Amino acid sequence: MKFVDFVSREAIRTNIEADNKEQVIRSMSSALLEAGKISEDQHESIVEAILKREELGSTGIGRGVAVPHTKHPSVKELVGTVAVSESGVDFDSLDGEKVHLLFMLVSPPDRPGDHLRALENISRQLRDETFCRFLKQSKEPADVWQLLEEADNNQFV
Give the residues lining the site for other proteins (CB under 8 A).
49, 52-53, 56-59, 61-63, 65, 67, 69-71, 73, 94, 109-110, 112-113, 115-117, 119-120, 122-124, 126-127
Position 139: which residue type? K
**Contact call for residues 148 and 4 (beta carbons, < 8 A):** yes
How many of the other CB atoms lie within 10 Å of CB of 48? 13
Question: In sequence order, which ranges of 17-101 are alpha helices (DSSP H)?
Answer: 21-34, 43-56
Q: Which is nearer to other proteins, 38 or 126 (CB)?
A: 126
Q: How far is the CB of 123 from other proteins (least distance, A)?
A: 4
Nearer to other proteins, 52 or 139 (CB): 52
Compute φ and ψ for 89, nearest 5 degrees: -125, 135
**CB closer to other proteins, 67 vs 151:** 67
CA atoms within 13 A on the CB side of 82: 28
Distance CA 6, CA 38 (A): 13
Minimum distance, C-beta of residue 132 to other proteins, in the bound complex (Å):
10
Q: Taking the complex as a whole, how short is the minimal distance between the CB of residue 121 and other proteins, in angstroms?
A: 8
- The least distance separating other proteins from the CB of residue 133, rounded to whole angstroms, comes to 14
- SS3 assignment for 63-91: CCEECCEEECCCCCCCEEEEEEEEEEECC
Q: How far is the CB of 8 from other proteins (least distance, A)?
A: 20
Q: Which is nearer to other proteins, 127 or 139 (CB)?
A: 127
Smaller CB separation from other proteins, 62 or 88: 62
